[in-house]
Amino acid sequence: MRRPAPAARLAVGTYEADSWCKHDAPGRCIEGPGHTCHWGYQRIAFWIPGLGGKRKFLMAHLAAWLVRETDCRTIDDLWLAYREFRASGLQLDHLCDNPGCRNPDHLSPCTQSENIMAGKDRALARQAAKGLEDHFEDDEPLPF
């Protein structure tokens, strides 16, 4: 039995959804069914033929980005692209701040420190947009 290509596996059950926050990323978030880790990222199970059919889990957003960027045709190609990406030390930053999103247009490769700073900057921008002020930056004494 021939297994479906990685792109076909990622497309099963996906749907466009409004992100739970406002974002500047192009288009809507793409979400789908699947296992979710406790941080909210979706995982997909793959059986890698080149590893003797071992079952491996990949984050859905990383797999979707790799399929688009490297044009993987087989599961083995996807696994090799994943290993190469991990060896580079880069991470994918969700521009939409939706961990369940697997839209490759909403992902940007960056270092861990860049990812953390971008997340903090987006959180501060959301906080400022809501009109909330940080009490620790005011000159007023703390209430306790």
pLDDT surpasses 70 at 130? yes
Say how far apart CA 95 and CA 82 lie, in whole Å.
Answer: 20
Q: If we measure between CA atoms, which residue out of 120, 68, 62 comes closest to residue 88? A: 62
Residue carrying the six token digits 């003797």: 52
> pLDDT-based confidence at 62, cuts 50/70/90?
very high
Q: Measuring CA to CA, which residue among 12, 10, 15 is closest to residue 67? A: 10
Average pLDDT rounded to a whole number, residues 50-62: 88
Query: What is the pLDDT, as a whole number, of residue 69?
Result: 93
Q: At what angle do helices 60-70 and 75-88 cross, to 10 degrees?
A: 100
Fold of 6-130: Homing Intron 3 (I-Ppo) Encoded Endonuclease; Chain A (3.90.75)
List, in sequence order, every residue forming a beta bridge with 29; answer none if it has no partner: 17
